[in-house]
Amino acid sequence: MGLVGLVASSLVLAGCGGSAESAAGDLHGTRLDPPFPVASTPLTGTDGQPFSLTKDTDKPLTLVFFGYTHCPDICQTVMANLASAMTRLDEADRDRVDVVLVTTDPARDTESVLETYLTHFDPRFIGLTGDLDTIVDVAKPLGVGITQGEKLPSGGYEITHGSTITGIDADDEGSVYWDEQTSSADFAADIHTLLDESDN
């Protein structure tokens, strides 16, 4: 198994509540060499239009997280930290970064549900839904596993999913990832570093 396979295997096991291995160095996140490939298969945006993580991500940096609106803990924390990180950027840098939430629960996370949920964090965040099998196929190359659990006594159900956040660069490759414990300050610092590198 190659490096990508080994890293992907470790990330798949880092489900909701788990954590991925962090690396020291110039980033708080972990650089990937070789980078993760990014599937071009389109999903559906909150406007009902197709959205591809390669064809429609034209900014220097796109941060992608797979989660769902009914997630009891990790997803809200990650989204809040990402939203806070965006407030730490000046407007010029903020305009060069997209944040994308891909739902792992498309049965409940319709376009309108996603839009309402994301508005509470940052109205510029992008929400994507679609067929669950397609979402699983898009997540897999990024080392994110998704499984739907059994129904809960409340009538709902839990979704187990990888909890890493992947940075997609201008070459449409997943070149860095962060774990769900990354703070807003660390996200912001890494975003500055990655944007500076994209200018050189």
pLDDT tens for 110-160 read 999 999 999 999 999 999 999 988 999 999 999 998 876 666 555 555 667
pLDDT tens for 31-85 read 999 999 999 999 999 999 999 999 999 999 999 999 999 888 899 999 999 999 9
List the structure tokens of 148. 């739907």
Output the pLDDT for position 71: 85
Asked if pLDDT for residue 108 goes beyond 50, the answer is yes
Of the chain, the percentage scoring pLDDT greater than 90 comes to 70
pTM for the structure as a whole: 0.84
Q: Which fold has domain 3-198?
A: Glutaredoxin (3.40.30)
**Closest-CA residue to 66 (of 27, 110, 106):** 106
**Closest-CA residue to 17 (of 179, 173, 153, 170):** 179
Cα separation, 66 vs 161, in Å, equals 7
Nearest 5 degrees, angle CA 189-CA 195-CA 196? Answer: 90
DSSP class of 140: G
Helix (H, G, I), strand (E, B) or coil at 155: coil
Q: Where are the domains of the chain?
A: 3-198
Output the pLDDT for position 25: 44
Q: Is the peptide bond before 34 cis (omega within 30 degrees of 0)?
A: yes
Asked if pLDDT for residue 92 goes beyond 80, the answer is yes
